[in-house]
Amino acid sequence: MFIDLTPLEKRPQLRIEYEYPLGTLAMGDNDFNLQQPCKVTLELQRRGREIHAQGQVLTELAVLCDRCLSPITVAMDSKFNLIYLSLDHLTGSDKVILDRQDLDFSFYSNDCLDLDELVHEQLRLELPMSNLCRPDCLGLCQKCGQNLNTAHCQCEEQEIDPRWQALRELKNK
């Protein structure tokens, strides 16, 4: 969704509330699987040629456990504070500011702000690096793929087997 920024020429502020329904926001390599509609609140303020964007992204995402690949739900609550610069009027002094790594910059052009891109970026930043269904998840057996949280597999026993084999050999002597 694109937000028309032209009302900001007449008003100092613009407040937007938007809800992405289930099944949306899946695009490209950021395949976000919404478990709850994604609520976005956004307050825009024009300061000179900059647009300051402040708000919140609230939803629940379905992801896979890193170890056992079972689906889990991650609650997302991302607050953001961004500065948008117009790509149409980027000047030399703006480029100096852009070298400052401590500030979060995004860009808009044609008086339009890409809300999808903003939300994607926030979800990507907020999503934990590791996701586990439980802290002590046993994962999958590397040999047969059995989910070891739900059942044992035969591979384990086969690993113990050589020892039993040795015992058996002793017995037979």
Interface contacts to Zn ion, rule CB under 5 A: 65, 67-68, 133, 137, 141, 143-144, 146, 153, 155
H helix intervals, the chain = 92-98, 115-126, 154-172
Least CB distance to Zn ion at residue 62 (A):
14
- Residue 127 C-beta: closest distance to Zn ion, Å: 17
Q: Which of residues 69 and 112 has its CB atom nearest to Zn ion in the complex?
A: 69
Parallel, antiparallel, or unpaired: how do β-strands 50-64 and 71-86 relate?
antiparallel
Whichever of 16 and 148 has its CB closer to Zn ion, that residue is 148
Q: How far is the CB of 124 from Zn ion (least distance, A)?
A: 22
Closer of 1 and 153 to Zn ion (Cβ)? 153
Contact between 42 and 115 (Cβ < 8 Å): yes
Residue 34: CB minimum distance to Zn ion, A: 21
| Residue 8 vs 155, nearer CB to Zn ion | 155
Query: Nearest-5° angle of CA 91, CA 97, CA 100?
Result: 150
